[in-house]
Structure 1
Amino acid sequence: HVKITKDILSKIGFPTEYKEVIDIACLHHEFLDGSGYPYGLKNDQIPLLARILCIADIYDALISYDRPYKPPYSQQETIKILFKKLI
């Protein structure tokens, strides 16, 4: 969905000061250790706001009740998983 996101957001015509929104949205699956996608970026190559969005996305996916493929994790389990994956 990263490519589709980039295509859609690129057509919106963000003002210059908000062009970074596209990169932030497209990089929210990148991990500090380089194991993410689409580019396998590491550490400071990933913008801070994309890192924050990554944490929010993982948290939401783990704790959500509306995922047909898994039951929700507890908040405590979710935090443990986040620390294991992101630190």
Structure 2
Amino acid sequence: MKRTALYAACLFAALNICTLSARAESRVQAQTYSYGTELDIQKVLSMTEDAEPSCGVVNARMTYLDSQGRTQTLDYRKFANNCNDGN
């Protein structure tokens, strides 16, 4: 019985941590990349792109920590991951 309660408490704590980080990430104002933008990237947290069914240029977003540990978000354009034939 105590083991089940411990597992439930651990699961609840993990869910709370995930919820707090998601809320903190949603408050970050995204910066749009342009050529020459100075970037201070210490650690990349996530990278996403528009869901495009074919090869082409898509919008992408990178969420990262800067050297001061603050969460930053960068919007940029890139070739889709579907472009795997080297072109």
Whose Rg is larger? 2
Higher relative contact order (CA 8 A, sep 6+): 2
TM range (shorter): under 0.3
TM-score, scaled to structure 1: 0.24
TM-score (norm 2): 0.24
Q: Please state which structure has a larger fraction of its residues in helix.
A: 1
